[in-house]
Structure 1
Amino acid sequence: MHLAVVLLFACYPGIYHVATTSQFGLVFESFLPQVQTMTPILYFGLFAMSFDFISGYTGYLSFGHAVFYGTGAYLVIVIANGKIPLLAAGTPFMISVVLAAVLAALIAVAIGLVSFRLTGVYFAMITLGFAQVFYVFIRGWDWVATAPRDGPSVSFGTHPEGFRIGIPYVDGASYAIGRLYGSGLEGFLGLFDLSTTVVSFYMIGLVVLVCYLAMQRIIHSPFGRVMIAIRENEERARAIGYNTFYYKLGAFAISGAFAGVAGALFAGYRRSVTPENTFYFLTTGDALLSSIIGGLGTLAGPLYGRLFEQGLDEFLSKGSEGGGLLPMLQEYLSRSILETNALGLTIEEMIDAFINGRASLYVGIVFVLFVLFVPNGLLGSLRERVGGPIAKLPGRLFGGEKP
């Protein structure tokens, strides 16, 4: 199943190109997310998976996860601008990514030492408090800013060699990512050229895949079994001899490290960061939304949840923003139908009133429906039906068989 999903993602740019240039191109373009939309889905999906790693597998809901995402993003930009001693502006991006993971993990340990003294809603609130402290601190810290924009600081990365993913110091084994300044690839496999958008999609996807497999391996290790034991019954796990505090702290640090990697990918791709799109608590809210739609405690589910959410948002957004439904209706509905009067409005006016720019409204409605009727999310519901390693795991935590 993993291999099939990886192959599907790997083939997606080609599938999208063939489908959208076919006879029914507008229809496919309406329903399929654009490739430039898929790349942010990947790195934010990694952030959502890191959120699920701690919240879905230990049961401790971290509302402050944006701290680690923002830490990774800002560290990459600060290093690229040569503001850190011993790290030149030309420091390879992959080294910056590793440093972002390490720093985010250390901050997670510091926050966890305080936060894990509490449980339940109190843990969620104290992590939210830490997120707000970091947000206000970064917002007012001129050292990290390279340009003001109506108050909050904006940081731009100006890496002389580009933000390249691959083997550091080996130009032939690394490619720059970015919406505007990425590396294209001519004559790939001697058959076709890859645009900067497609190269960014593949290189970021490679990092996300490695991180996902690493988290998957940890979850299926003895350490991961204790994490799930804490989620199922922390008192029992403690009673049989596990020091749950240190296991939770370790899981939090690992989760923070992968969130830092996601933030680094975000900064490398966007080349600019602001406190609003990194440290703000609603960034964590987006990760929670993706996790609930995809399935908490499934690890891969948040990525699918993000894909579903962004795909729906793009499908219902304005045509100028890459939306699908609005231009498709305008193309295929005749003028006579569009000008038909119903309830005091023409069909065209109703489309504009109820669809054009209303994507967030419908995404919110879908989220409510998922909470009410699909509480286990997309992947969680699928695993309930077909079973799987994680579905069978909790019943064997303490040596017994699942009933």
Structure 2
Amino acid sequence: MRSYVRDHVAHVLVVALFVIYPPLYGILLRTPLGAEFDAFLPGTTFLIGMLFLGLFAMSFDFVSGYTGYLSFGHAAFYGVGAYFIVLAANGKVPGVPESTPFMLTMVLAGLLAFALALAIGAVSFRLTGVYFAMITLGFAQVVYELVRNWDYVAVNPQSGPTIGGDAPTPEIGVPYVDSLSVALGRLAGDSFENVFGLGIDISATLTTYYAIGLVVLFSYFAMQRIIHSPFGRVMIAIRENEERARAIGYNVFWYKMAAFGFSGFFAAIAGALFAAYVGTAPPDETFHFLVTADALIVTIIGGIGTLAGPFFGTVSYEWLEDILSSEQGGLAPYLRATLPDGVLTTDIAGVTVADVINTAVAGRAPLYLGIVFVLFVLFVPNGLLGSVRDRLGDTAGTALGDRLQRYRR
């Protein structure tokens, strides 16, 4: 037990940081440097988006990073999870009543994505390398066009289906036990006053943040448990040398199929969380191939084949994008508000500082994010967490635990 806790010190620290961040963020905003913290630190609402996007990226890394098969059509499973939740809430899924608890429909969405992954994998795993990546992309595009043009599920090709006003609010917790469930939503979710008599109030946004965080944490540990099981060892063996794994007797086809299915399951969980939170499932934000591209980018930044790396890559990438693109608390509005008028209107070769901010900073997030991505590919090919592991010579959790144990002695 002691060794287990030691090896998971890094997990404990990361979870603790996410738990205390919202109240700490509120405290920092009330300090003399509140404007700076508001401009450069993400808010709780933004972190909620990071959670389900990070889970989706980890599900992508589960199959792509640990079997070596890049799934360019992973958005299909994310979209299935999102659409299933919305359609089930509106009573449009046969055999699933509108009153079915969200936790159950979320699992059903994952199982449906698991089955879809097996169907796609049965064909795709006949190929390898770039051919596998392209055929999964092709399948995803077929599904994308299907949902956009099928009135029963699409309703509106642009906005997608929406959870109706009479549908029950999605809740995370124990199904059919209201006292152990928390409703999701920034405005329609549950809030709590004077928690445990401590005078602490928890808003609907905050309860949603913690509830979604628990699902993401549970999903992460489930994937990690699979990877560290004998099944996961075979996945890694396939990645390292598939021919050798086949030669020693493993049926690599079915191992790859199962890994693809598990990956699709957790991708659907991420999509379900997204749909439950925003109340809709736009096809361009769920089924589109660029959704998979985002997962690929943050996985490379965080470290492919590290599982937790894609989550940290998501946090870093989305945080930087928010700073560079936000017009409410990002870098550009901060510079406009803090720089003196004399500086903003300074003319240099016919161009003012304000012009430079409006042209080179405001709305230029894709440009700088592209540069960051290129730099990572060139100089940090193993990503953030992968580079840390290389530096420490082991996983971050084990290395940190060993060092703490050394100081304890």
Question: What's the TM-score, normalizing by structure 2?
Answer: 0.92
The residue number in structure 1 matching 2:385 is 379
Summarize deviations over 1:116-169 as a string: whole Å, max 9, x none: 0000000000000000000000000101134x3xx4462001363300000011
RMSD: 1.5
The residue number in structure 2 matching 1:396 is none
Question: What pairs up with 1:120-131 in 2 under 5 angstroms?
Answer: 120-131=129-140
The residue number in structure 2 matching 1:110 is 119
Q: Please state if 1:297 is matched with 2:305.
A: yes
1: CA distance between counterparts of 2:75 and 2:275?
14
Summarize deviations over 1:50-89 as a string: whole Å, max 9, x none: 0000000110000010010000110011110011233211
Which one-letter code corresponds to 2:390 in the other structure? E
1:390 is displaced (CA, Å) by: 9.3
1:65, 1:256 within 8 Å by CA — same for their partners in 2?
yes
The residue number in structure 1 matching 2:171 is 164
1:391 is displaced (CA, Å) by: 11
Q: Which of 356-365 and 154-163 deviates more?
A: 154-163
Instruction: Give secondary structure in 2 for the equivalent of 1:61.
Output: coil
Q: Please state if 1:83 is matched with 2:92.
A: yes
Which one-letter code corresponds to 1:154 in the other structure? G
The residue number in structure 1 matching 2:204 is 196
2: CA distance between counterparts of 1:161 and 1:65?
29
Matched-pair identity in %: 56
Which has more helix, going by share of residues?
A: 2
Residue 181 (structure 1) aligned to one of 171, 174, 188:
188
Summarize deviations over 1:297-342 as a string: whole Å, max 9, x none: 010111111111111011111423x42x122212332222111112
Q: Please state if 1:283 is matched with 2:291.
A: yes
1:140, 1:153 within 8 Å by CA — same for their partners in 2?
no
1: CA distance between counterparts of 2:235 and 2:163?
37
Question: What's the TM-score, normalizing by structure 1?
Answer: 0.93
1:275 is displaced (CA, Å) by: 1.2
2:72, 2:289 within 8 Å by CA — same for their partners in 1?
yes
1:139, 1:153 within 8 Å by CA — same for their partners in 2?
no
Q: Which of 104-113 and 154-163 deviates more?
A: 154-163
Q: Please state if 1:96 is matched with 2:102.
A: no
Structure 1: gaps of 5 or more residues: 393-403
The residue number in structure 1 matching 2:6 is none
1: CA distance between counterparts of 2:145 and 2:214?
33
Q: Please state if 1:25 is matched with 2:34.
A: yes
2: CA distance between counterparts of 1:193 and 1:23?
24
Q: Which of 263-272 and 181-190 deviates more?
A: 181-190
2: CA distance between counterparts of 1:93 and 1:183?
15
2: CA distance between counterparts of 1:342 and 1:189?
59
Q: Please state if 1:347 is matched with 2:356.
A: no
Q: Which of 189-198 and 274-283 deviates more?
A: 189-198
The residue number in structure 2 matching 1:37 is 46
2:98, 2:167 within 8 Å by CA — same for their partners in 1?
yes
Q: Aligned residue pairs: how many?
A: 387
Summarize deviations over 1:145-203 as a string: whole Å, max 9, x none: 34x3xx44620013633000000111111111123322222222322111111111100
Instruction: Give secondary structure in 1 for the equivalent of 2:197.
Output: coil
Structure 2: gaps of 5 or more residues: 1-9, 399-409
Q: Please state if 1:365 is matched with 2:371.
A: yes
2: CA distance between counterparts of 1:247 and 1:60?
12
Which one-letter code corresponds to 2:272 in the other structure? A
2: CA distance between counterparts of 1:81 and 1:161?
9
2:174, 2:181 within 8 Å by CA — same for their partners in 1?
yes
Q: Please state if 1:205 is matched with 2:208.
A: no
2:90, 2:167 within 8 Å by CA — same for their partners in 1?
no
Residue 69 (structure 2) aligned to one of 60, 70, 79:
60
Question: What pairs up with 1:117-266 in 2 under 5 angstroms?
Answer: 117-146=126-155, 148=156, 151-152=157-158, 154-158=160-164, 160-191=167-198, 192-266=200-274
